[in-house]
Amino acid sequence: MALEKINIPVNKAVMEEAEKIFQQNGITIETAINMYLKKVADADGMQFVLNLLKDEQEYYKSSEQQDDYMTAAFTASVNEAIIVTKLRGNPVARYDIEAQKPYLEYPDGHKEY
């Protein structure tokens, strides 16, 4: 895997707050940025699930809206776990619906049924 260095200006206070969150989750800022870039590339776009403030949660009063939010949050969490697993060099267990078989998907993209 070829690496590319980037140098970008960021808001120092925001970066420090983000680094605290990353540390609490056991990842570095470099890993977090790589996760974000991988997720954008895999999704062919930017898909965000935002953590909402308590005031904003009022929007999700109906159970259907809450279910939609929880489904999106769960899906995003699983996708992030898959990305972290691959970034650590480990295979991910998947299921091929067409072939109706489980397989391991390795970080280099090859599949082992």
Give the integer Cα–Cα distance in Å for 102 and 97.
Answer: 9
pLDDT, tens only, 11-30: 888 889 889 988 888 888 98
pLDDT per 10-residue tile (average), the chain, 113 residues: 85 89 87 86 68 55 65 83 88 91 91 93
pLDDT, tens only, 80-91: 888 888 888 999
Q: Cβ-count burial of 41 within 10 angstroms (0-12 exposed, 13-18 middle, 19+ buried)?
A: exposed
Q: Give the pTM.
A: 0.42
Report the 10 Å Cβ neighbour count for 69: 16
**Which runs of consecutive H residues, i.e. helices, occur in the chain?**
12-24, 29-43, 63-87
